[in-house]
Amino acid sequence: MSATGDSIPSQKSVFWAYVFWLFGGILGTHHFYLRRDRHAFVWWSTLGGFGVGWLGEVFRIPRYVRDANEEPVYMAWLVTKMKQNKKPPFSMNRFTGMLMVGYSWAQMMMLAVPPDEVWGINFRYLNYLIPFVAALGVWTVGNIGREQGSLKWPVLAAYLAYPVRYYIFDESIWFTVMVLASGLAFDWLSKDWRRTPRKKQGVVKRLAVLGVCACLYLSLWCGYLYFHGTITDSEGDEVPVYEAIHHFFTSPWWLDVKQAMYETYLYAQHHGWYEVWKQIIDLSDPHGEQNAYRVLGVTPEATQQEITSTWRRLSREHHPDKVKDEAQRRAAQERFMEIQQAYEILSNSKHKRNRRNKKDNSEPIKANGD
In a domain, 218, yes or no: no
Do 343 and 354 reside in the same domain of the chain? yes
Q: Are residues 80 and 15 in the same domain?
A: yes
Instruction: Please tell me the total number of residues recorded for the chain in this structure.
Output: 370
Let me know if residue 145 belongs to a domain: no
Give the whole-angstrom CA distance, residue 58 versus residue 217: 27
Which of 52, 84, 116 is the endpoint of a domain?
84
Closest CA to 174 of 238, 219, 110, 126: 110
Give the C-alpha separation, 304 to 325, whole Å: 34
Shared-domain flag, residues 365 and 293: yes
Q: Please, are residues 104 and 209 in contact by the beta-carbon 8 Å criterion? A: no
Q: How many domains does the chain have?
A: 3
Cβ neighbours for 1, distance < 8 A, ≥ 6 positions apart: 70, 75, 197
Name the stretches of the chain with pLDDT < 70.
Answer: 1-9, 350-370
Q: Give 272-319 as a DSSP string.
A: -HHHHHHHHHHHT-TT-HHHHHHHHT--TT--HHHHHHHHHHHHHHT-
Q: Could you tell me if residue 115 is inside a domain? A: no
Instruction: Give domain status of residue 38, yes or no.
Output: yes
* 187 contacts: CB under 8 Å, gap ≥ 6: 90, 95, 98, 142
Report the C-alpha gap between 28 and 16 in whole angstroms. Answer: 13
Residues 291, 359 within the same domain: yes
| Residue 46 located in a structural domain | yes
**268 lies in which domain range?**
251-284
Residue from 157, 156, 141 nearest 191 by CA: 141
265 and 338 fall within a common domain: no
In a domain, 133, yes or no: no
Residue 298 forms part of a structural domain: yes
Gap between the Cα atoms of 145 and 198, Å rounded: 10
Residue 156's pLDDT is 97
- CATH number of domain containing 318: 1.10.287.110
Q: Are residues 301 and 356 in the same domain?
A: yes
Choose the final residue of a domain: 84, 105, 129: 84
Residue 360 domain-assigned (yes or no): yes
Same domain, residue pair 342 and 299? yes
pLDDT of residue 100: 95
DSSP code string of 211-226: HHHHHHHHHHHHHHHH
Domain boundary among 84, 105, 124: 84
Indicate if 64 and 75 belong to the same structural domain. yes
Rounded-to-integer distance, Cα 50 and Cα 54, Å = 8
Sequential DSSP letters for 178-211: HHHHHHHHIIIII-EE--SPPPP--HHHHHHHHH
| CB 164 within 8 Å of CB 174 | yes
pLDDT of residue 7: 43
**Domain check: are 77 and 11 in the same one?**
yes
Residues 291 and 365 in one domain: yes
Bridge partners, residue 147, by sequence: 193
pLDDT at 39 (0 to 100): 95
How far apart are the C-alpha atoms of 295 and 335, rounded to whole Å? 9
Give me the amino acid identity at 188.
W
Q: Are residues 264 and 316 in the same domain?
A: no
For residue 297, which phi and psi values (nearest 5 degrees)? Answer: 75, 35
17 and 73 belong to one structural domain = yes
